[in-house]
Amino acid sequence: MNKNHEEYLLLTEKLETIEWALEGSCDDIDCDKYMYKDLLKNKYKPVLEHNFSCVKKLKVEKNAIMRLLSMKKFIKYRYKKCGVCRNLVDSLGSSYLIVSFTKLLDNNHTQWNGIGVHKMCSKKVKIPKGWKKSLL
């Protein structure tokens, strides 16, 4: 794997953490929306309120990461071919959707498979034989 790709994966991982945090699973241990607070029940006393402290910081961080991810060297990792219409789709944009399927194997394990498509194209995804559409 080359350096650009590694950097891209690192940034998108960070972006994902920020998005989870914005949705209410904060990774700031001082925050009342800290994602592991249930595990820390007894001694846990958050001092910050998510809406007033973290959200602003998270949005600033997200913007900074999105700016980095807009660099030319990341284009080929960021834009993927839509599984339906074959045109490029921005995998970090709001029009991107992963349609996923699951299949129950003989050993009772579930196999997962997903294709990235435009939101608009998602209704046209053909479900392969033997697979079921999954909500994940």
Spatial strand order in the sheet of 96-104: 110-118, 96-104, 132-134
Closer of 18 and 54 to Zn ion (Cβ): 54
Closer of 20 and 131 to Zn ion (Cβ): 20
Query: Do 34 and 46 meet the contact criterion of CB atoms below 8 Å apart?
Result: yes
- Residues in contact with Zn ion by CB under 5 A are 26, 28, 31, 33, 50, 54, 82, 84-85, 118, 121
Q: Which residues contact 15 (CB under 8 A, 6 or more apart)?
A: 62, 65, 66, 69, 92
Strands 132-134 and 96-104: antiparallel
Minimum Å gap between C-beta 112 and Zn ion is 21
Measured in whole angstroms, how far is the alpha carbon of residue 74 from the centre of its chain?
17
Minimum Å gap between C-beta 127 and Zn ion is 17
Minimum Å gap between C-beta 94 and Zn ion is 14
Minimum Å gap between C-beta 87 and Zn ion is 5
